[in-house]
Structure 1
Amino acid sequence: MDTYTLLPLILAFLWTFLYFLNHNSKKSTTSPRLPPGPPPIPIIGNLHQLSTTPYRTMADFSRTYGPLISLKLGTITTVVVSSANAAREMFQKHDLAVSTRHVTSAVRAADGHDRYSMVWMPVNAKWRLLRKISTVQLFSIQRLNAGQSLRHAKVVEMAEYVNKCCESGEVVDVGKVAFTTQLNLLSNTFFSMDMASHSSKDSGEFKELVWKIVEEIGKPNLADIFPVLGFVSKLFVNRELIGIGNKFNEERLSSEGRGNGDVLDTLIKIMKEEGSELSLDDIRHLLMDFFTAGTDTTTDTMEWAMTELIRNPEKMAKAQDELERALGKDTKSIQESDISKLPYLQAVVKEALRIHPPAVFLVPRKADSDIELCGYLVPKNAQVFVNLWAISYDPNTWENPDKFLPERFLDQDMDAKGQDYGFIPFGAGRRACPGMTLAYRMLNLMLGTLIHGFNWKLEDGLTPEKLDMSEKFGVSIQKAQPLKLIPI
């Protein structure tokens, strides 16, 4: 073939090549692209860059790449939201598009928990039914107000136990005391009975069981990273995820005819109504959700709040002075009606929720379609994390974010109801935690009672400066070493 024959072919090829190059260049400048992030490597993606505290690692990435980053966790494209502004745009513009959960293999392996759990199932008719039942039967203002006497009674029992320890000089495990109080509040709400006592080992064993569950759900699993290995999860998943349901379901659900008027009676009554879509499995898994989420996060926040007050004695003194001024020296019992008169106590609780968020990541979501967020593409089926820890420590939102400063909440009217996106410890949007109001009331009641009725010191002559602050990561962040104090 001579030069004259080849030349037109070469020119045609070059024209075609330049046309597509120009076309793709224009397309790439007008279409959103994936958020920036550290470059992945084949097969494992960015897994090798994550530490045992992935929330901190991802927060570090956001300082380099911006408030919206993308990672490759094995084969899973993951987008991480790390700022209040990015969270605001996601919840206000795309809440429905990212309302589906990215279900972990541990949850799937737990007797199909994702098919029945309000936390994990998609936003569908069954989810709306369970959400409505939860709102009306448990967390409506009328229900919450009606339960004030029960909450007060459980907090008084806690104070009586601590007082016995005070008289005998015994050490108090703050996390265990808070857990037992919250556990018995929930069990009486559902079953009209206590499930544990402060002086027995059973609450400690149950607390450990709940921690194993949230740790199992929170830690990476091969099947989550490489879905083709889903069968491995079913072989190795912690079976306590299934056993917890039997811990309190069979015996209590069989006593349905008691007529105590508690929540379980109401749920069974709804289930038996003609045409009801509520099943016994729905009730079992609903109880699993409430007992795990309702005890673990409240307990962890209480323990961290007391830890911060012990480490910051001037903050403890300020909170105690406020309680004494508002309630008097001789009144040790706190009522819920007193909380509105205790702005500094409320600020302490809020700051504890900020600096030690009850869940470092919101429950993972999945994009149901391609969406544009902060100018970037979040592709369909991508996993979406909201890094609450990063948002809570963002210096663009919080001055001196590493310091425990309850006073910051006295200067600004922020609540935890999901409207202030720099402070969303219970989530936001349609999938926000329905029990946030109950948790907030109990945290104020328990903390106020412990610091108003008693002074506290560390055991074995330990000083506040030497207090162990190491963390244990699951869904929430637990103190690695339990906080043990002596009441005086």
Structure 2
Amino acid sequence: MAAPELWWLWAALAVSIVCYLTNQHRRASDSGRRPPGPRPLPLIGNLLDLRHAPGNLHHTLARLARAHGAPVMRLDLGLVPAVVVSSREAAREAFAAHDRRIAARPVRDSKRALGLCDRSVLSLPSSDPLWRHLRGVMAAHVLSPRSLAASRAARERKVGDLLGYVRGRAGTVVDVKEAVYGGVANLVSTAMFSIDVVDVGAVAESPPLAHGLQELLEGLMECMGKPNVSDFFPFLRALDLQGCRRRVARHLPKVLQVLGDIVDRRLSDEASSSTSGSNKGCDKHGDFLDILLELESTGKITRDNLTLILFDIFAAGSDTMALTVVWAMAELLRNPAVMARLRAELRDALGGKAAVEEADAAGLPYLQAVVREAMRLHPAAPVLLPHKTVEDGVEIGGYAVPRGSTVIFNAWAIMRDPAAWERPDEFVPERFLGRDLDFRGKQLEFVPFGSGRRLCPGVPMVERVVPLVLASLVHAFEWQLPAGMSANQVDVSDKFTNTSVLAFPLIKAVPLIIT
């Protein structure tokens, strides 16, 4: 007789068999052709086909799609049906014909901790009134042109701090990734709530816990990003076998507490200044927190909305922008002719100006081409956040995509589609000169931030920050590789975790001050 504590294993096995047989019957009765793909095994589906994927999921998906001649490919992820889109034409059809039908998100079980999936704009379905409200707040207020213009000086000041940090190490080998990550994190946190979170360059007077926010957030994102058996076998969610949801439930409150403390400190400072009659503390900071507190005071958002908006922007913003700058620097070091042409454009456009301003960066076509080519070759999210079909009638490439399916867009493969790009695996910024491709995914061969309703809400900030940081680093310093290292030895292999990062976290390079 089985030990009493093992009863749930037998129950899970029985439920697995029932679910598998039910799925097989449902799939057999589905109308329309199913996409091609690797043959699934009973119960586990195609999970073994992805067993080597951790670290290179985008490569694995692209390889499977090529093997099956399938820009639209079916995978069974345990008991969860999925469709992978890997070409420009398939992506165009998906977004043009079915954007509304595929605009939901499959929710990772770890994000169910403390109801995060029902509060975060990153996880809520687009049909939810709260999603529409929060998305509208971010677009019309927080990330609006007016708001971003108000915080421009702060962003430029933080870029100056980053340059000061690098300048203090001129002539020595610098870890470019470390410097850029810290500098961009401070840029984002200053734009959000006028506080530095990393000790890079000049550090503003900050609450002690603020300098731990980045580490707390990295730990939380690691918890949420790990493969979880509950996501492939939904009936196991209640058991939380790997403890992913429990770990997120421990980490999330710590992050939200730091953000809450920052908000409380701002309110306390304003109240103290008001009571003392001083105007000093009542001066507006010109940051996102000012805007959100004003919206809260008028009843347009709640305190929980406010904190979660800060969380979503910070979680999704700083790493992706820093990654793009780092990738661009790696490719420039690997392609000295491109670096020289970019430096010449900056010199001709800026003349004797010591510092690059956002307006300068926006008007430099070759700089913009370098940024776009870095995003095309090395998207920060090589596999976009998954979509989910919420209605019947979705058909992509002549294949039926049943309701409830996960739809995965392999942005890395789409932006290397040989039908859309010549020499797709080469770094050629010139391909973007005279070509009107913006960051908003309207032309489906270039989708670094997705497209349609689920386009990344942070695009307006990205298109200001990334060119500014990259141009500033190239304009202020002449970058050389460490002694004995040649350009073709710069490693641009990648791996996929939550975002795309260099396999060997990055480049060491020597900045020399230009006199």
Offset, 1:460:
5.3
The equivalent position to 2:95 in structure 1, one of 91, 108, 123, is 91
Say if 1:176 and 1:204, in contact at 8 Å, map to a contact too.
Answer: no
Q: Distance in 2 between matches of 1:304 and 1:243?
A: 33
Counterpart in the other structure of 2:173: 171
Name the SS of the counterpart of 1:108 in structure 2. Answer: helix
Structural mapping, 1:115-194, within 5 Å: 115-123=118-126, 124-166=128-170, 169-194=171-196
Q: Distance in 2 between matches of 1:161 and 1:380?
A: 52
Say if 1:211 and 1:296, in contact at 8 Å, map to a contact too.
Answer: no
TM-score (norm 1): 0.87
Task: List runs of 5+ in structure 1 lacking aligned partners.
Answer: 1-27
Name the SS of the counterpart of 1:486 in structure 2. Answer: strand
| Moved beyond 6 Å, runs of 4+ | 200-205
- 2:383 equivalent to 1:383: no
AA aligned opposite 2:139: T
Task: List runs of 5+ in structure 2 lacking aligned partners.
Answer: 1-27, 204-208, 271-281
Q: How many residues are paired up?
A: 455
Q: Distance in 1 between matches of 2:129 and 2:510?
A: 50
Counterpart in the other structure of 1:62: 65
Between 172-181 and 232-241, report the one with greater CA deviation. 232-241
Counterpart in the other structure of 2:291: 266
Instruction: Using the aligned pairs only, state the percent identity.
Output: 38
Q: Distance in 2 between matches of 1:462 and 1:233?
A: 47
Q: Distance in 1 between matches of 2:211 and 2:77?
A: 35
Q: Structure 1 residues 139 and 91 mapped into 2: Cα distance closer, same or farther (>3 Å)?
A: same
- Larger Cα Rg: Structure 1 or Structure 2? 1
Q: Deviations over 1:144-193 (max 9, x none)?
A: 22222122111111112211111xx3432222222222222222222222
Offset, 1:395:
0.7
Name the SS of the counterpart of 2:101 in structure 1. Answer: coil
Q: Distance in 2 between matches of 1:94 and 1:178?
A: 38
Q: Distance in 2 between matches of 1:337 and 1:200?
A: 24
Name the SS of the counterpart of 1:368 in structure 2. Answer: coil
Say if 1:359 and 1:388, in contact at 8 Å, map to a contact too.
Answer: yes
- 2:368 equivalent to 1:346: yes
Q: Distance in 2 between matches of 1:233 and 1:296?
A: 30
The equivalent position to 2:456 in structure 1, one of 433, 439, 448, is 433
CA RMSD of aligned residues (A): 2.5
Q: Structure 1 residues 298 and 30 mapped into 2: Cα distance closer, same or farther (>3 Å)?
A: closer
Q: Distance in 2 between matches of 1:384 and 1:34?
A: 13
Q: Structure 1 residues 208 and 474 mapped into 2: Cα distance closer, same or farther (>3 Å)?
A: farther
Counterpart in the other structure of 1:15: none
Between 404-413 and 294-303, report the one with greater CA deviation. 404-413
Say if 1:176 and 1:207, in contact at 8 Å, map to a contact too.
Answer: no
Say if 1:427 and 1:433, in contact at 8 Å, map to a contact too.
Answer: yes
Counterpart in the other structure of 2:243: 235
Counterpart in the other structure of 1:80: 84
Say if 2:58 and 2:496, in contact at 8 Å, map to a contact too.
Answer: no
Q: Distance in 1 between matches of 2:399 and 2:367?
A: 41
Q: Structure 1 residues 45 and 92 mapped into 2: Cα distance closer, same or farther (>3 Å)?
A: same
Counterpart in the other structure of 2:46: 46
Counterpart in the other structure of 1:401: 424
Q: Distance in 1 between matches of 2:174 and 2:64?
A: 40
Name the SS of the counterpart of 2:265 in structure 1. Answer: coil
Name the SS of the counterpart of 2:83 in structure 1. Answer: strand
Counterpart in the other structure of 2:19: none
AA aligned opposite 1:298: M
Offset, 1:141:
1.6
Name the SS of the counterpart of 1:78 in structure 2. Answer: strand
Q: Structure 1 residues 305 and 211 mapped into 2: Cα distance closer, same or farther (>3 Å)?
A: farther
AA aligned opposite 2:346: L
Counterpart in the other structure of 1:113: 116
Offset, 1:282:
2.0
Name the SS of the counterpart of 1:144 in structure 2. Answer: helix
Q: Distance in 2 between matches of 1:29 and 1:84?
A: 30
- 2:271 equivalent to 1:249: no
Structural mapping, 1:175-214, within 5 Å: 175-198=177-200, 209-214=216-221
